[in-house]
Amino acid sequence: MALYVAILLCIPGMRLISLTDSRYNAIIIFDIINVVKRGAWDLKQIDKNENAVTIRTIAKMANVSHTTVSRALNGSSLVKPATREKIAEIARQIGYVPNISAKSLVTNRSYMIGIFFTNLDTGTSASFLTEVIEQAQGLLPKGYSLSINSVDNAMDGQGISVSNFDGVIVISQSESDDEFIEYLHKTGIPLVVLNRVIERTDINNYAIGDELGGKIATEYAIRMGHRKFALIKGLRTFESSKQRTIGVKEAMSAHHIQIAPDMVKQGDYRSKSGNVLMRQILSSGSVPTCVICENDDMALGALNACIELGYQVPRDISIIGFDDMAYSKYLVPPLTTVRKPTPTIISMGVSQLMAIVENGQQDDIEQKVVDPEIIVRSSVLNISAGEWMNWLWIFLHKLLVIVVTGNFGERSFLWDLRFSL
């Protein structure tokens, strides 16, 4: 059925045309004055019978060649800024979506970035996986997509071809990734390795100071007066767990604190392991005052175990996590944890990778270790403050007794106070 002009309204400062098309049973309203002010197009130039919006459609509306449109949409400096803005506005308003396949043929790019985790089945928590993907996708230039896989799958010959990617990010958690990293390096594909410090100087590497993280978590607990600890470790094969454990033990050693061997539990970074191992700790007959968990997921499981067994956190037992996942501040109580600078290393890595991809060459190799920080919330009790308050209460009580009884003998006062403490 024909296209009818239904309404023509004149409003001060604005002119609206409503077009009704029976094929779509809809009303399309265009703000002509606004479009003209933006230097856009004449509505008469729109071919309503054409379903697909292409570069030629935009070229016709902007009254330029399709070559100019293509250059403008790709940010070419050969097109004047005003013309680029005009073309971009037309593309936005008509909902133009680039044909990535066609673009790939012209530019010899796939517009796909591969992210490889060490393992997607064990060790890599869902929360960490989600955080990395969301942040990386948000930092990629428009038009690029992510492909998520694991180093294990790639090395097992599951038909993954790195030639399908413009660049690769390896979220490395184990030395077992080294063979895959070397393979990628030899192919010459743009590459960055994140999360773990790698023992080579020819690859861009942005890592997290896990050892320092374990150390500052433990030192904070010690400052809060804790001396009796339990430790729930992460996955045995992951470098992050090894480094965090080193940091914890170094801090304890510096303060001459020893942790009982049966209070060191081997977890796997999953909340279930935190729950199971915390139950073992609580049923041991020697409950510690503070449990350090090497990631937040295990801390979550440990916290649930305490609740299920009738222990109050932090009154009965304190818990510290690691990572500062988004949910940590919403737990009850909010979790004291070590904030892993994942956003920082993702930003550094994506920025460096895209610079290599876009420029076609690499300048200086960057290798940085970013320090974590302790995030203090409510899951750790200040025992030292409690002892000080207890001493003050005893002191005042003894003093009151002496005043009331009239016994001001200094030796008697100090002697009684000594045994009270």
- Asked which of 66-70, 169-173, 258-262 is least confident by mean pLDDT, the reply is 66-70
281 — pLDDT class (breaks 50, 70, 90): very high
Predicted confidence (pLDDT) at residue 78 exceeds the cutoff of 60: yes
Q: Residues 252-264: what's their mean pLDDT?
A: 96
What CA–CA distances, in Å, run from 12 to 9, 33, 174, 197, 370? Answer: 10, 11, 67, 65, 58
Q: Which of left, alpha, beta for 95 (phi over 0: left; psi -120 to 50: alpha)?
A: left
- Residue pair 59/87 in contact (Cβ under 8 Å)? The answer is no
- Asked which of 62-66, 348-352, 370-374 is least confident by mean pLDDT, the reply is 62-66
| pLDDT given at position 291 | 98
**pLDDT tens per residue across span 62-71:** 899 888 888 8
3-state secondary structure of 378: coil
**pLDDT tens per residue across span 304-313:** 999 999 999 9
**pLDDT tens per residue across span 54-63:** 788 888 888 9
Please classify residue 151 by burial: count the beta carbons closer than 10 Å to its beta carbon, then call 0-12 exposed, 13-18 middle and 19+ buried.
Answer: buried
398 — pLDDT class (breaks 50, 70, 90): low
| pLDDT given at position 392 | 63
Q: Residues 104-108: what's their mean pLDDT?
A: 51
Q: Residues 339-364: what's their mean pLDDT?
A: 90
Higher-pLDDT residue of 70, 331: 331
| pLDDT given at position 142 | 85
| pLDDT given at position 378 | 95
Predicted confidence (pLDDT) at residue 419 exceeds the cutoff of 70: no
Higher-pLDDT residue of 10, 70: 70
314 — pLDDT class (breaks 50, 70, 90): very high
Output the pTM of the full model.
0.67
CA separation for the pair 281, 230 (Å, rounded): 8
Predicted confidence (pLDDT) at residue 76 exceeds the cutoff of 90: no
Higher-pLDDT residue of 296, 21: 296
Per-position b or e across 7-39, b if 16+ CB within 10 A of its CB = eeeeeeeeeeeebeeeeeeeeeeeeeeebeeee
Higher-pLDDT residue of 164, 417: 164
